[in-house]
Each structure stands twice: as C-alpha cells, then as structure tokens.
Amino acid sequence: MRTPIVAGNWKMNLGMDEAVQLAQDIADGAPENGVKLIVAPVSVHLASVTEALATSPVLLSSQNMHWADSGAYTGEVSGPMLRELAVRYVILGHSERRQYFGESDEEINRKVLSALDQELRPIVCFGESLSDREAKRTEAKVEFQVRAALAGLSAEQAQKVILAYEPIWAIGTGKTASPQQAQQVHRFLRGVLKERFDVETAQTVPILYGGSVKPHNFDTLITQDDIDGGLVGGASLKADSFLELARIAGNI
C-alpha cells in the first residue's frame, strides 16, 4: 500500500508572517490519519517555515532547485542549501517553470539526479496541454516527459521519486480532470514505470494528481486505484481547505 500524500504548492504567494501562520495552523490541525502532508513555500520563507513546523510531522518542500551544488548561478538555490533548512522534497518540472522559465526536459532530469544525490525526494510534475489532449496526444506527451525526467535513474533511485500528473488545462482554471480521465493516465504511467524499471517500482512510486484539486472534488479522485494523493495550489493557501483534503485522503 502506498501512503497517501497531500502536498501544498504555495507558489509565489503569502508574506512571511502569513506563511508562518499558515504553517502553524496546518501543523496544529494536521490529522493523525497516516496521510503524509507536505508544504512548499517560496525559498525565502523556508527557514521560517522550518521553525514553525519543527515539532510537527508536516514535511517541507522547495518549489525548485538548481542542479549544481554551488557556483556562478545568480538567483538560484542548490540542493545542499535546501538540506541545511531541513527541506526533504523538491517540486521539479512544474508546468509554470516549463512555460515561464523555459525549463527543458533535460534540465529537469539534471535536477532530478542532483536532488537524489542530495537525498531530496523530487516531486516531478508533467502533464499535457489542452491541444495535446484534443489531438489525443496525452499518453505520448506524459510518457515522453516522465521518461525524460527519469533518464539515467536506477530502479532504486526511481523509487524515491514522487510523480505528479498535472494536466495544464486544469491548473488554476477550476477545471479538474474527471476521476476517470486522471485514473486512466495514472494507470498508463504505472505501465510505463513497469516497462522502464520493474513491477516493484511501478507499484511503489506515488502518483499524485494536481490541477484545481478542492475539497469538493478530491474524494472521487483519491479513491481511484492509481491516484495516491494531490498536489494542490489554490486550496493549499488556506489551512481549512488543506486540512480538509488531508482528512479526505485519510478516509480511503
């Protein structure tokens, strides 16, 4: 059985005090139901949020990292720097980074390899655009992205990765993939993992769904066989809705 995960991607939101308050409220209200809770604040708030979460089981993620350990990369943050702040996860390849910052599949792969070297668990995002879906290219697109992101990994390394299927047309739009649409892609991806690695890896790797996840639509998603949790943007910015998602994930 895979542990359910609810991960909050705060994106470029919240001032320092708001971020600390939200972290505290989540830590205070986190249900003890076996669901793994992860929050990803902006990097300048990681140190303060780490403190706010110090005695709680809620885990910390970065929203990005550079692949090099240090060097002349103005504006970037490295894996070892994140480790110093007790960060355990790193979101990589989010569609906003691909779209607005031109991140390529090859760069994402370098970051995945570097994160694993630093013992950070990558949360690797991928998903099709609306035109991909309309042209029936969804499976080809996600397979390409996942294979590229995981290039050069051993099965043992792949088992440390969390995948997050986020159809671009569903992010921040209020349109969610139907549970059947999402399940179909998740099931397909397990097949890709089995082919690329082995059965154990295919069964071990958690595959989260992301894209307008809200308390009112989460229960029908999380009850699908191959959906192991959610990567949540908007609904992760309020403790009430985030904690509600945590409770729903614990009820399956």
Which stretches of the chain bind ligand PGA, using CB under 6 A?
9, 166, 171-172, 210-213, 231-235
- For residue 95, the Cα-to-chain-centroid distance in whole angstroms is 11
In the complex, the smallest distance separating the C-beta of residue 184 from ligand PGA, rounded to whole angstroms, is 19
Whether residue 216 lies in the annotated active site: no
Catalytic residue among 96, 128, 143, 166: 166
> 62 — phi, psi (to 5°)?
-95, 165
Mention every residue, 6+ apart, whose C-beta is less than 8 A from residue 46: 60, 62, 82, 85, 87
In the complex, the smallest distance separating the C-beta of residue 164 from ligand PGA, rounded to whole angstroms, is 7
Choose between 82 and 170: whose C-beta lies nearer to ligand PGA.
170
In the complex, the smallest distance separating the C-beta of residue 111 from ligand PGA, rounded to whole angstroms, is 17
Choose between 27 and 38: whose C-beta lies nearer to ligand PGA.
38
Sign for the pseudo-dihedral over CA of 27, 29, 33, 37:
negative
Contact 108, 93 (CB under 8 A): yes
d(CA 198, CA 200): 6
Choose between 202 and 235: whose C-beta lies nearer to ligand PGA.
235
Whether residue 128 lies in the annotated active site: no
Catalytic residue among 94, 96, 103, 143: 94
Residues marked as catalytic: 94, 166
